[in-house]
Structure 1
Amino acid sequence: MRDLISLSAFPKSGVTYLGFLMFHCLFGDAAEIGDLERKYVIDIHAWPALRFAMPEGPRIVKSHFPFGPDRPGVGRTAKAVYLIRHPIDVMMSAWDYRRFLNPAGNPGDDQGGPADGPAFRRFVHGWLTTGGAEFEVAGPWRQHVRSWLDQREIPVHLVTYANLVDHPGRELAAILRFLDLPVPAERQAMAVERSGMAAMAALEAEEVRNRRTGVFYRLELARSYEGGRRFINKGHRDCYATLLTDEERALADRTFGAEMSAYFPGDGGAGAG
């Protein structure tokens, strides 16, 4: 039986935002936002141990796994929404996330701004030479993208992060059509309003202020939060053009050129117009 909807993406590609949109669109009035990933848009790592609050409704999971027949939930997945983000913008969010998890830094790391020192440039070089192999669960960015978009077992709806952020109403409507989920236009508009970056940042701030475990805050992350770090960050855009050196851009073109040309024409990269 295939009864799951998968929100799939490489880490740091915006799937939390997509999860908020789906939650507020489909469950918001009858649900507590703190239960988003425990009862409504369940992380695949916690499924099937966690149970959906509304088993008769859409069963949505979010996953950072690449596609593969042995991956959790794949055999139960009816459709997938794949969220793709420019690999260099993902790189910058991955750098922020690394610093979020380890606010004290590693021995030998520079403590300046994220693009100011040798530790950052080493990180960039590693990202570009490995194809974005920063997260063990996901594998390299390039292989992750290809695994989902080249397979034919599960129908996939492709959404770019930039389009989702810039045109959330349009993209949400297209997702709902793909999933055959009729939702009134006014409810879709409400979901967009409640799911923006400012709304997510406000929720995170509230959880931190009250030290309440929820969508963002975890006790094991208290040190990071006390140091002023946050999960909801800058929403990096255009990092290929603004943060890479000429040499790094040439390396990015060799590593990610095919994907950048196919999915991000005009946003920087080989073949961009």
Structure 2
Amino acid sequence: MPQIPASQTPARPGSSDPGPAPIAPGALTQFSLLAALMAGTYASGIRAAHARELGDFGIGCVDRLGGEVVMLDGVVYECNAGGVATPMPDDELLPFADACDLPHDLVARPVRGLGLHALTETVEAALASRNLFHAVRVDGLFSSLRVRTTARQALPLPTLEEVAEHQVETSLVGAEGTLVGFWSPALYQGVAVAGLHLHFLSADRSTGGHVLDATVADADLRLAAYARFALQLPTDAAFLATELTHPDDAAVTEVEGGG
């Protein structure tokens, strides 16, 4: 199979626009399915040490949905129900995770004064293709952020929709940090979160969570496309015994977008 070139797409002649996102040579690897979380099937996971082997950039959730996960520059952070971020122990489980190696030579695209909807439009205008997965990194100053975390669940495990009804939201103003996430094709709704799915980690690595809303003050956007998608599925008894179906788009949007 021919190798996909990793070279950065050059700027268009006479323009500062770097053009579409470059296609990275590696793969985006995902453990488990969004549909499994929606169905309350998240009793097992991969360990944080394993997640780091899959890449240096990614997102996920903590064992039994006990917080949100951000992997940035090769370090895995867990953000607990109070929004406090700490390095994740190697043996801690992630029942859902997305990870990849993010190229270090990506061209920065300045983004200023954008709400989450406008930022999404900016990301989508720069996609290599709406049929490919894309890693999305935004570093800078945010006028405002609204992030959520969830508390660790007890057995029997509730659905993600039920857990989200009791999520803890944190509002941040004038926060410096990084948005870490992925844009996934509409075809993969239920496997992943279709569209833009972002987590936040503050510059001092002290707080973060799943992004419900954001306003960018002054930041740099970097994108990389992935034509290779590797899926690892759980093999615990609950997952094997639960027949998963495609979740309703409206339910996913409600849970992941905050309504």
TM-score, scaled to structure 2: 0.27
Larger Rg: 1
Between structures 1 and 2, the one with greater helix share: 1
Between structures 1 and 2, the one with greater strand share: 2
TM-score, scaled to structure 1: 0.26
Greater relative contact order structure (CA < 8 Å, 6+ sep): 2
